[in-house]
Amino acid sequence: MSIQTIASALLEEKQTPSHLTRRVYDALAPVYGVSAQLFHSRAHTAAHRASGIEDGARVLEVGMGSGEMFGRLVTGNPGGQTFGVDLSPNMAARSQADVRRKFPEVAAQCQAADASRLPFARHSFDAVVCCFLFELLGDVQIEDSLLEIRRVLKPEGRLTLTLVGEKKRAFSAAYALASKVAPAFWGRQVDESLVNMLPSFGFNVVTDFYLRQLFYVSRVVSAVKTQR
């Protein structure tokens, strides 16, 4: 990875947002795990607990990034099947290699895929987990991804999210500026609108709370798929 590679991906204007995001995170794959440990590990622990996942389940993480959360899911589900998808092929490949090295006997699989076009059959999973994914999606992609997640979840399956939850004015202003400079990397704050959308997409929110790690505030939300 080089600074030139990342800068080129961030500044390229002729590609679609999803293509830019894939290029940026492909370039950051070797080092992104450091960020997850510094700012997201508490949220990952809390989200895993809120998900209610029990050993033996079929679990999917959408947007698994460097695999920090994916490793937790595999550790807690040794008798089940754990799948992960990420838009970045490099992220998916690194996570697959890591899980094969650490958990050679566990049924776990990672692959590159778009959240709005999941390569799984209807009612495939007991639980779906998404950590800091929706900030990177456009409005249409958010709606399509929620529909896809609902499609692959079993009846009464659970969706668990971690979202950027900081509300302080200074943070929001800095985040908005960073989003304008490098939208493919930073995305945008969507937690309020997204959580408000969940009931209309067939999800009943059962857990919703905030936590802080260093200066970073995360929001953890867990919702059950309803019948409609």
* Beta-carbon contacts of residue 188 (< 8 Å; ≥ 6 apart): 135, 175, 176, 179
* pLDDT (0 to 100) of residue 130: 97
Closest CA to 219 of 29, 201, 198, 227: 198
* pLDDT over 60 (residue 210): yes
Q: What are phi and psi of 66, to 5 degrees?
A: -75, -5
Render pLDDT for 82-130 as a digit per residue (tens, 0 to 9).
999 999 898 899 889 999 999 999 999 999 999 999 999 999 999 999 9
* CA torsion through residues 110, 115, 118, 124, sign: positive
* Torsion (CA) 226, 117, 22, 57 in degrees, nearest 10: 50
Architecture of domain 3-225: 3-Layer(aba) Sandwich (3.40)
> Which sequence spans correspond to the domains of the chain?
3-225
* pLDDT (0 to 100) of residue 9: 43
Q: Which residue has the higher pLDDT, 145 or 187?
A: 145
* CA torsion through residues 23, 26, 28, 32, sign: positive
Angle at 109 between CA 107 and CA 115, to 5 degrees: 135
